[in-house]
Chain A
Amino acid sequence: MDTKLRYGFRDTKLVQAKVRQIQKLVTRPWAIMEICGGQTHSIKKFGLDQLLPPEIEFIHGPGCPVCVTSLELIDKALQIAALPNVIFTSYGDMLRVPGSKGDLFSVKANGGDVRVVYSPLDSLKIAQENPRKEVVFFAIGFETTAPANAMSVLQAEAMRIDNFSLLVSHVCVPPAMRAILNSPSNRVQGFLAAGHVCTVMGYWEYIPIAEEYRVPIVVTGFEPLDILEGVYRVVRQLEGGTHEVENAYSRLVTYEGNRAAQKVIQQVFEVCDRKWRGIGTIPKSGWKLRDAYLKFDAEHRFDTQAIETQESPLCIAGLVLQGLKKPYECSAFGTLCTPQNPLGATMVSSEGACAAYYLYSRNLESPKMNHV
């Protein structure tokens, strides 16, 4: 990042001007969902919700890949990672996500070879260097991480690396938006679409959703000015009674997205039903490896059938992920459930809504921030 990011997209005067523009527009309360956990994090980190008029309510969406990975898959990860001949590789923030019994950190402490990597290609390299070990990568994430994960499979095949596999838990944004809008308790009136996802996928997928549900959708970035611009455009549509897809992140996002990345995803993955933690199964909301790549599927390679999952009875992460409850409305928030001792995934990830509330605004005196 150069100084432009810190002082450009976070410029105080520009931020204040955009806030004033929004204030002038607003005539009544509006509930806007930011889909991506990265946006939730930015909203809380920069205190954007404090700057905006009280009529604007942010509802936090299910766009945190760590939060929505199903308990069943976390338990499978724990089981595989504990096997003696396995090197289990994962993005860092998955290590603290609680399964039914423990997390990947506790597997590591008990002797499991669990390693943090920054990319599935790093994991592939570990497989090359350890030909006698089984190397498994925990392939979680939305459309953003899918291209690199798909690429790792293609490379493993090309390089004939047969000790590498993915534990796949890919989820897709558009089916989740439909599930939220179809819910009888839905309160969402407009969406800030996740900029990172649209960088890969474009925004053509959102046009039928906006039309069918008559809901404005604005592709939005992650810096303070990006988010305020997204809010401004959603509110402008809501106040004007329109429902279109707009692109407020045009410096990175195009209508069709990254075609090469989409092609790689299509080649390796196919659509499947996917269980979302706290929400349940959403039809056709995920990707799994195509049959041609079954040998790279960790669920196929290891016996992970005998899993019995058990969620905390207190955790309301599912309701938070659907925008039905705020984190501070949970009886365990900040007391029984903290980042040190998370009951649910939304308190673990840096993108989780509960963690963002806990970190940046718990228990402060300002009325808008007095959450506990």
Chain B
Amino acid sequence: MSDENQPIDFLGAYCPLPLTHSEQIVIGHGSGGRLTYDLIQSVFATHLTNPLLEQGDDGVALPPIDPEFEIVVSTDSHVISPIFFPGGDIGKLAVCGTVNDLAVMGAKPLYLTAGFILEEGLPVDVLEFIVSSMAKSAEEAGVAIVAGDTKVVERGKGDGIFINTSGVGIRPRSLHISGRNAKVGDRIILSGPLGEHGVAVLQARGDLGFLSDLQSDVAPLNHLIAGALEAGMQDRGNAIHTMRDPTRGGLATTLNEIARQSNVGIVINEAEIPIQETVISVCEMLGFDPLYMANEGKCVFIVDPEGTDRVLKAIRADKYGSKARVIGEVVSDHPQKVLLKTMIGSTRLVDMLSGELLPRIC
């Protein structure tokens, strides 16, 4: 057979169809064009659907707020590494973080917005898992994700995915919850054991050389907090003066902030502070103090002594607060300082976290 008579391989001569890029994030997903639109339809709209988001405009018009309520707004960016860890992922964290920030203001969280910064190369499966995780947490918290944005950065310029969430909530105008409201004599309630998120993330980084069954405590606390607020309602007002979630910097930093804002002293009792043995072990090994480890599902309540029992009971009735304890009180001595009564009978200062938590050498 001569060369002219060779059969032609038409497969190689077709004008190539563009790849769909449905498996991996590429720069084009951030272009604002067709790829962006497809990604929104296939991932975000699938999991986060609700009438407000579906309007598809540049912003979202929200229903009017009852004049007896005021609007509370909060925002938080999430840059955690790794993006998956025992007990959660960056999506769950992004929703719970902002829901909890609103809740500790005494607000009922209603709406969230979500901004995604995706790194080129991120598998779409991973994005989809994270978005579905956000949807689950939003459902549990009873909030709607009503607006969003997606940008893509070049490979190497991100950590897979960053998420910013902003939240809107409402609270009664009569409710005064603030870090400035702690009063001498108030009791301090901690909703559960410390340090689980911090240790779970350290472990998930995989460079500690050990494993445990410890899970992050990341959770939406708005229902727990709503129950506590309800229980704290008294004739003269609300028994809960201050609420705060001890995230980065841990309980130690949170209590120091409150002591400074309210110009009071705080004393906590080591024997009353709930901490899991696994957390204690890891911290002992690395030279960390659980008082400084991050939490993503805990709340500190500063409560009028008369209302303490009722509030504690309500917190314990919630699944995220079953191990709540009264861990200390607000005092007039040593204003703006936090002291710890140790289990062996001495007293020491508990300072704010300075810079990064760094593991000790030996």
Contacts and interface: CB of A to CB of B under 8 A. Distances in A.
A350 B358 contact: yes
A94 B362 CA distance: 12
B355 A96 contact: yes
A358 interface: yes
Interface stretch (A139-147, A230-238, A325-333): A139-147
B272 interface: no
Size bracket of the B interface: 20 to 34
Interface in B336-362: 337, 339, 342-349, 351, 354-356, 358-362
B207 A140 contact: no
A12 B271 CA distance: 11
A280 interface: no
Interface in A102-145: 116-119, 122, 140-142, 144-145
Given A118-B209, A340-B355, A361 B348 contact: yes
A141 B349 CA distance: 28
Contacts of B351: 358-360
Interface stretch (B13-21, B64-72, B277-285, B317-325): B277-285
A1 B362 contact: no
Interface secondary structure of B, over-half rule? loop
A290 interface: no
Size bracket of the A interface: 35 or more
A15 B345 contact: yes
B117 to A, nearest CB: 21
A71 B337 CA distance: 34
B333 interface: yes
Contacts of A11: 344
A344 to B, nearest CB: 15
Given A117-B207, A350-B360, A364-B334, A224 B284 contact: no
A360 B344 contact: no
Contacts of B337: 363-364
Given A3-B277, A340-B355, A350-B287, A12 B362 contact: no
A93 B358 contact: yes
Given A1-B280, A16-B345, A46-B342, A196 B362 contact: yes
Contact of A92 (B345, B348, B359, B362): B359
B348 A45 contact: yes
Contacts of B355: 96, 339-340
Given A338-B354, A360-B349, A362-B349, A91 B359 contact: yes
B348 A224 contact: no
Contacts of A44: 348
A224 to B, nearest CB: 5
Contacts of A117: 207
A51 interface: yes
A65 interface: yes
Interface in A19-48: 38, 44-48
A372 to B, nearest CB: 11
B208 interface: yes
Given A47-B342, A47-B348, A338-B354, A65 B334 contact: no
A340 B356 CA distance: 10
Contacts of B333: 365
A50 B347 CA distance: 8
A15 B346 CA distance: 11
A251 interface: no
A359 B362 contact: no
Given A10-B343, A66-B361, A145-B362, A359 B280 contact: no
Contact of A6 (B280, B346, B361): B280
A91 B277 contact: no
A2 interface: yes
B362 A142 contact: yes
Contacts of A119: 209
A201 interface: no
A225 to B, nearest CB: 9
Contacts of B339: 364
B110 to A, nearest CB: 38
A246 to B, nearest CB: 23
Nearest to A360: B348
Contacts of A142: 362
B345 A93 contact: no
A95 interface: yes
Contact of A1 (B284, B354, B359): B284
B111 to A, nearest CB: 37
A116 B286 CA distance: 13
A229 interface: no
Nearest to A339: B354
A120 B342 CA distance: 35
A117 B354 CA distance: 20
A330 B24 CA distance: 58
A5 interface: yes
A351 interface: yes
A167 B170 CA distance: 57
Contact of B361 (A51, A93, A224, A340): A93
A366 interface: yes
Nearest to B333: A365
A144 B362 CA distance: 7
A324 to B, nearest CB: 25
Contacts of B360: 38, 91-93, 349-351
Contacts of B345: 12, 15-16, 51
Nearest to B353: A339
Contacts of A96: 355-356, 358
Contacts of A224: 344
Given A15-B345, A339-B355, A360-B349, A91 B280 contact: no
A294 B334 CA distance: 56
Contacts of B359: 91-93, 116, 118
Contacts of A362: 349
Nearest to A121: B209
A224 B346 CA distance: 11
Contact of B346 (A50, A93, A118, A363): A50
Nearest to B282: A1
11 contacts: A1-B281, A6-B277, A10-B343, A11-B344, A47-B347, A50-B346, A140-B361, A196-B362, A224-B344, A339-B355, A358-B351
Interface of A: 1-3, 5-6, 10-12, 15-16, 38, 44-48, 50-51, 65-66, 91-96, 116-119, 122, 140-142, 144-145, 196, 224, 338-340, 349-351, 358-366
Interface of B: 207-209, 277, 280-281, 284-287, 333-334, 337, 339, 342-349, 351, 354-356, 358-362
Return the 5 tightest CB-CB contacts between A and B, nearest first.
A47-B346, A92-B358, A339-B354, A15-B344, A144-B362
